[in-house]
């Protein structure tokens, strides 16, 4: 070895290091610590129904309670467990609370939470098959099963992602690469005519982000108006595509939505699929929220045409209730994923002639390092079974219809749209409110204040939708702990707080409120 070789000379210590075990907890200590954390989880499940669903937290007090300096020496374990108890019971949001029906956040299954701990403990890297044989094969099997559930043909499959945003990004990248008409991966997006992507005015913003990240520019977006049911207008889609073709643009993808975020509307999938087939355009379906409803026999007919999609994005952590995070991207032909993302790394050498290894999932998407997201989804399905999932998803939709009926029965509420899937939009309307041009602006302001007060109150927690010029309250039920009494409570609390706000805020021109 040369005298200049690393590790020789210059006073560098080359003696054999002694073992250092500070981070390597023995199994008995690991078992004791995780047992205490599991006890915290059990306490949380036991106390959850009686706890406030939200609080009027202040950033400074949360930071003061939790943002401690990193200690030089280990924190005593009892003190650390107490810290975790405070974090869990005093400073956290409870998306699994039976009266949390805001946004689209599943409650988190118990089997999924336990599986997540095991996945983290094994700590496989699901980018390489040889690093994660069990994880890779479970994910491959799970995504093939999902593809069959949606009616995609043999040869379809996909991969788990961090969420719907990444699933949509992956799907639209494949669309760009397949439909641009030239080798975009080699030559870039500027090597051909400008590209165009079509979506409705109700499509989730993750598609905007994907188009930006793909280098197409937001000018590539074509926002298609919706009908009275908040569904994409197919006639205007067809016109927009043909107009772009005449102007020299290249249409590459249509993003149809199977369950919009605001109202749960499902775009006319068969008609959109017809347009895509006629024009040679990729059909991507954003089913992040609504997609899992294909498991329910009574809801599946609403998704007719989804089996014609080229790619489908959906989130198990929404209406499959599994713990965050976990999205899924399915493609009609699994080979398209590898064509869009495959890359060789010289430091990864595998002798394929001497080994029998499966597909490296890191070559099907943008991430090489991936955790075992699939396990919590797979174990949840194994633990509960398809029938229980179908029944609960159908039950959630029935609860939303129940809420809509209760809204229509009461004189102090107004249904904003027909109930779609498990979303109900409504607003508080004081029974004695006068008319005139100030009425609608006042109602939007009143309901905006009401939503904020409901979230701070702690008894119930909903979110909002903006429908045209109307600000309305919005309930989305993807929570297996929510039942009819929780929805009754929402209306009672909303009426109580709404009446108080109306008495404080109503202008004299709209009549005297009820104090």
Residue 346 confidence (pLDDT): 57
Q: Does one domain contain both 366 and 390? A: no
Q: Does one domain contain both 286 and 404? A: no
Classify residue 110: in a domain, yes or no.
no
Residue 180 three-state SS: coil
Residue 100 three-state SS: strand
Residue 511 three-state SS: coil
Cα 478 from Cα 148, distance rounded (Å): 23
Residue 287 three-state SS: coil
Residue 13 confidence (pLDDT): 87
Classify residue 113: in a domain, yes or no.
no
DSSP 184-209: HHHH-GGGSSPEEEEEETTS-THHHH
Q: Which of these, 492, 513, 487, lies nearest to 501 by C-alpha position?
A: 513
Residue reference for tokens 């406030």:
52
Classify residue 13: in a domain, yes or no.
no
Last residue of a domain, which of 38, 71, 92? 92
What CATH number has the domain bearing residue 391? 3.90.1150.170
**Which DSSP helix (H) or strand (E) runs through 147?**
helix 133-149
Last residue of a domain, which of 50, 68, 92? 92
In 270-376, beta strands by DSSP E: 282-286, 311-314, 327-331
Classify residue 16: in a domain, yes or no.
no
Residue 8 confidence (pLDDT): 55
What are the backbone angles phi and psi of residue 232, rounded to the nearest 5°? Answer: -55, 135
Q: Supply the range of the domain harboring residue 299.
A: 124-370
> Is residue 272 a contact partner of residue 234, using CB atoms and an 8 Å limit?
yes
Residue 357 confidence (pLDDT): 82
Positive or negative, the CA dihedral 54, 58, 64, 66 is: positive
Question: Mean pLDDT of successive 10-residue segments in the chain (515 residues)?
Answer: 54 87 92 97 96 90 94 95 96 95 94 96 94 96 98 97 96 98 95 97 95 95 97 98 97 98 97 98 98 98 98 97 95 96 71 72 92 97 98 98 98 97 98 91 97 95 96 98 98 98 93 57
Classify residue 515: in a domain, yes or no.
no
Cα 163 from Cα 304, distance rounded (Å): 24
Q: Does one domain contain both 410 and 360? A: no
Q: Does one domain contain both 272 and 216? A: yes
DSSP state of 301: G
Residue 351 confidence (pLDDT): 56
Q: Does one domain contain both 326 and 411? A: no
Q: Cβ–Cβ contacts within 10 Å for residue 162, how many? A: 16
Q: Does one domain contain both 358 and 472? A: no
Last residue of a domain, which of 92, 109, 140? 92
- Going from the C-alpha of 367 to that of each of 196, 344, 349, 364, the distances in angstroms are 26, 13, 18, 8
CB-neighbour burial class of residue 248 (10 A; exposed 0-12, middle 13-18, buried 19+): exposed
> Is residue 375 a contact partner of residue 399, using CB atoms and an 8 Å limit?
no
Residue 12 confidence (pLDDT): 87
Residue 21 confidence (pLDDT): 86
Cα 405 from Cα 410, distance rounded (Å): 9
Q: Does one domain contain both 70 and 179? A: no
Q: Cβ–Cβ contacts within 10 Å for residue 3, how many? A: 6
Q: Does one domain contain both 321 and 175? A: yes
Q: Does one domain contain both 360 and 430? A: no
Query: In this structure, what is the dihedral angle of CA atoms 72, 74, 79, 84, given to the nearest 10 degrees?
Result: 90
Classify residue 10: in a domain, yes or no.
no
Q: Does one domain contain both 134 and 171? A: yes
> Is residue 422 a contact partner of residue 400, using CB atoms and an 8 Å limit?
yes
What CATH number has the domain bearing residue 190? 3.40.640.10
Classify residue 280: in a domain, yes or no.
yes
> Is residue 478 a contact partner of residue 289, using CB atoms and an 8 Å limit?
yes
Residue 492 confidence (pLDDT): 98
Cα 121 from Cα 38, distance rounded (Å): 14
Number of domains in the chain: 3
Classify residue 130: in a domain, yes or no.
yes
Q: Does one domain contain both 405 and 267? A: no
Q: Cβ–Cβ contacts within 10 Å for residue 479, how many? A: 25
Paired strand residues for 313: 286, 329
Residue 136 three-state SS: helix
Q: Does one domain contain both 482 and 446? A: yes
């Amino acid at each position: 070895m040369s005298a200049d070789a690393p590790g020789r000379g210059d006073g560098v210590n080359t003696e054999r290091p002694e073992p250092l075990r500070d981070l390597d907890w023995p199994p008995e200590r690991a078992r004791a610590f995780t047992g205490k954390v599991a006890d915290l989880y059990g306490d949380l499940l036991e106390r959850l129904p009686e706890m406030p669903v939200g609080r009027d937290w202040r950033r400074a007090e949360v930071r003061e309670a939790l943002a401690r300096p990193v200690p030089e020496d280990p924190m005593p374990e009892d003190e650390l467990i107490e810290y975790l108890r405070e974090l869990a019971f005093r400073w956290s949001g409870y998306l699994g609370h039976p009266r949390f029906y805001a946004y689209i956040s599943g409650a988190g299954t118990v089997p999924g939470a336990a599986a997540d701990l095991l996945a983290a403990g094994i700590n496989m890297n699901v980018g390489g098959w040889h690093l994660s044989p069990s994880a890779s094969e479970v994910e491959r099997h799970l995504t093939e099963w999902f593809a069959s559930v949606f009616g995609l043909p043999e040869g379809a499959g996909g991969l788990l992602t961090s969420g719907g945003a990444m699933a949509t990004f992956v799907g639209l990248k494949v669309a760009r690469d397949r439909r641009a008409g030239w080798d975009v991966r080699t030559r870039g997006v500027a090597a051909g005519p400008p590209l165009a992507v079509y979506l409705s005015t109700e499509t989730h913003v993750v598609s905007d982000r994907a188009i930006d990240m793909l280098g197409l520019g937001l000018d590539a977006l074509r926002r298609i108006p919706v009908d009275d049911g908040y569904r994409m207008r197919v006639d205007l889609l067809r016109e927009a595509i043909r107009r772009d073709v005449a102007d020299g643009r290249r249409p590459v993808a249509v993003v149809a939505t199977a369950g919009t975020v605001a109202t749960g509307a499902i775009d006319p999938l068969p008609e959109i699929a017809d347009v895509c087939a006629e024009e040679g355009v990729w059909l991507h379906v954003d089913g992040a929220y609504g997609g899992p409803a294909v498991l329910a026999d009574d809801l599946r007919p609403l998704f007719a045409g989804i089996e014609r999609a080229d790619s489908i994005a959906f989130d198990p952590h929404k209406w499959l209730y599994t713990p965050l995070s976990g999205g899924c991207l399915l493609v009609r032909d699994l080979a398209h994923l590898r064509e869009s993302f495959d890359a060789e790394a010289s430091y990864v050498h595998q002798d394929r002639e001497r080994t029998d290894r499966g597909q490296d999932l890191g070559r099907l998407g943008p991430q090489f390092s991936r955790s075992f997201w699939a396990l919590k989804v797979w174990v949840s399905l194994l633990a509960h079974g398809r029938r229980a999932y179908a029944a609960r998803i159908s039950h959630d939709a029935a609860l939303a219809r129940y809420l809509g009926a209760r809204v229509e029965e009461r004189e102090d509420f107004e249904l904003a749209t027909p109930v779609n899937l498990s979303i109900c939009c409504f607003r508080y309307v004081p029974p004695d409110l006068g008319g005139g041009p100030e009425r609608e602006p006042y109602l939007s302001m009143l309901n905006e204040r009401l939503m904020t007060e409901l979230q701070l109150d702690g008894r119930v927690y909903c979110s909002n939708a903006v429908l045209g010029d109307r600000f309305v309250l919005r309930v989305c039920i993807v929570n297996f702990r929510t039942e009819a009494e929780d929805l009754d409570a929402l209306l009672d609390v909303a009426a109580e707080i709404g009446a108080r706000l109306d008495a404080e805020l109503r202008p004299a021109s709209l009549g005297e409120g009820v104090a």
